Structure 1
Amino acid sequence: MTKPRKVDTEKVQLCYYCTNVIEDLGDLVFRKVPLATPKGIFQKNRQFHLKCLIEYNDKLENLELRQEENSDWDLVYRYFQVDILGLSKTQNLDKHAVSRLLGLRVGKYIPNGTNTRTLPRGYDFKIILTTLKVVKPKVKAYMATATLANDKHRIDGIMRFVTSEINDVAKRMETQRKSNEKLVKEEVKEEFDYMKLLAERKQAEVEVEEDEDLDTTIEALLGGN
């Protein structure tokens, strides 16, 4: 973690991680983050809330999360390449197509130096992939009838369909996620209630057996048959 010698107190400081304003300069910290540029990857200072920096570092250390995001990105790339554009797997997407897809991940037109992994902004790759599947019929019809000046024009035309639908897809997927979580909780509760009922029945059986044993012992002491 680094801290520049001077901070422009007149300038609004936005957290690199959550993008919210850092209102308390005492909560302002800096960290060098790797940023992709046309000339390569460079370490650049970015400002964070202290709490956000801790969370950012934790996510960077979570290798499984990064691997999952990379896997999801591969699915997005392949679907756009093969199913949307009709290219073969050996034909790479051009730079503009990749930039537009990654821009969705961080909620921008293109990433423009913003990391596209582990940040809680934009839309995750699962949402992007689902949206591509939703708009595929419209995109195919568009490409079959539209007059396209060049590849950039074609990609931007496709992305208009994506950006018009992606927020609705995200809301629907979030609703489904919450519904699934609720279902799981209900199933866990039902299982817990069932196990609790079995335990109560078992305890009742034990108590009955103990009562019967006690009655037998008393009868024996009193000379009963």
Structure 2
Amino acid sequence: MAKRAKTCFYCGGTFEDEMDIVEFRVSYTSGKSAHRRFHEKCLPEFKKVLEEQGGEIESASYRKKLNERRTAQKKPNCTYCGRLFVDTDESLVLYNQFGNSYGKYHPNCYIKYINNMQNADLRKQENKEWEEVYDYFAYEILNMRPSQARENKAIVYRLAALRIGKKRLNRGDVIMGVEAGYSYKTILYTMKYVKTQINEEFASRRFHDMNHKINYAMVIIWNNIDFINGRVKAMERQKELTEIETKKRLAEKERLKDIKKLPYQRKSKTGGKAKWQWLEDEE
């Protein structure tokens, strides 16, 4: 029996979960064809490239050429906000004194990042939120013992990557003090939202080891986090609108208090009859 590939035929990345693997028959110019394994998200991209080449691949070295092409076309993102640079001239390659690495920043984003890292209260709050997320994942999702959960590198790497919107953590990635990715509050809400689903999957499946369980749980969290992130942002926006409306009402109330009341005017004894009498006289 042929050995099954452990990496995606298109991007070369390893498979984190069996559910993320799809097979597709690839045709070569030599007339041969073979089933290849892909990430589910990579297969549509591969098919587009395959159509451009006439439905067949010239040689086995095509993947190297494709990766070079994709790398050349890939645009860099700001380390702080995560958004693409509209123009490469607007990016600044600056040394991150807190992360001991280099990163690309918008000029105003770098100032915001430095201010965040110099804010002791903000860093303390972020560390507290990180501990809440880590403990919930270790104890509530995985049901780990304290001895198992203490500084588990697999959990640290996966949760830290999720914080900045990635599946895998790369060397030099900046985690603290940035806006890119998802907030710890969003991650925690997502875990609570999918906890029942994860527990049901754990009860019905067999796993090789703890890393396998961690990866499986992270796939479910990843598939639901955008939905929760949208709900969280909508609630935050609604809260802001409510606060603005409340401030407007209070300001209007204070304004009305400052308005001086008009002096009271006594009604005439005729009660308006004089006006009609005057009109009759004119006729």
Note if 1:87 corresponds to 2:150: no
State the alpha-carbon separation in 2 of the partners of residues 12 and 159 from structure 1. Answer: 27
State the alpha-carbon separation in 1 of the partners of residues 91 and 232 from structure 2. Answer: 34
Please, which of 79, 89, 100 is the counterpart of residue 43 of structure 1?
100
Structure 2 residue aligned with 1:142: 201
State the alpha-carbon separation in 1 of the partners of residues 232 and 161 from structure 2. Answer: 20
Structure 2 residue aligned with 1:208: 263
Please, which of 155, 168, 174 is the counterpart of residue 97 of structure 1?
155
State the alpha-carbon separation in 1 of the partners of residues 184 and 80 from structure 2. Answer: 18
CA-based RMSD: 2.6
Contact 1:81 1:93 in 2 (8 A): no
Larger Rg: 2
Please, which of 169, 175, 179 is the counterpart of residue 111 of structure 1?
169
Alignment of 1:185-196 (within 5 A): 185-196=244-255
TM-score by length of 1: 0.75
Structure 1 residue aligned with 2:115: 58
State the alpha-carbon separation in 2 of the partners of residues 137 and 80 from structure 1. Answer: 13
Structure 1 residue aligned with 2:187: 128
Note if 1:23 corresponds to 2:107: no
State the alpha-carbon separation in 1 of the partners of residues 111 and 87 from structure 2. Answer: 18
State the alpha-carbon separation in 2 of the partners of residues 145 and 45 from structure 1. Answer: 45
Contact 1:135 1:161 in 2 (8 A): yes
Note if 1:178 corresponds to 2:178: no
State the alpha-carbon separation in 2 of the partners of residues 176 and 11 from structure 1. Answer: 33
Contact 1:22 1:49 in 2 (8 A): no
The structural deviation recorded for 1:89 is: 3.8
Contact 2:186 2:228 in 1 (8 A): yes
State the alpha-carbon separation in 2 of the partners of residues 43 and 149 from structure 1. Answer: 36
The structural deviation recorded for 1:45 is: 2.6
Deviations 1:40-62 (A, max 9, x none): xx722323232222222222222
Contact 2:79 2:174 in 1 (8 A): no
Q: Give 1:182's aligned amino acid.
A: L
State the alpha-carbon separation in 1 of the partners of residues 88 and 151 from structure 2. Answer: 43
Change in CA separation of 1:31 and 1:66 when aligned onto 2, cut-off 3 Å: same
State the alpha-carbon separation in 1 of the partners of residues 167 and 125 from structure 2. Answer: 24
Tell me the secondary structure at the aligned position of residue 208 of structure 1.
Answer: coil
Unaligned runs of 5+ in 1: 1-9, 36-41, 212-225
Higher alpha-carbon deviation: 104-113 or 120-129:
104-113
Change in CA separation of 1:12 and 1:166 when aligned onto 2, cut-off 3 Å: closer
Contact 1:13 1:22 in 2 (8 A): no
The structural deviation recorded for 1:16 is: 2.7
Tell me the secondary structure at the aligned position of residue 252 of structure 2.
Answer: helix
State the alpha-carbon separation in 1 of the partners of residues 74 and 223 from structure 2. Answer: 33
Unaligned runs of 5+ in 2: 1-72, 266-283
The structural deviation recorded for 1:115 is: 1.5
Tell me the secondary structure at the aligned position of residue 130 of structure 2.
Answer: helix
Please, which of 95, 106, 130 is the counterpart of residue 32 of structure 1?
95
Tell me the secondary structure at the aligned position of residue 119 of structure 1.
Answer: coil
TM-score by length of 2: 0.61
Change in CA separation of 1:45 and 1:95 when aligned onto 2, cut-off 3 Å: same
Q: Give 1:140's aligned amino acid.
A: N
Contact 2:198 2:217 in 1 (8 A): yes
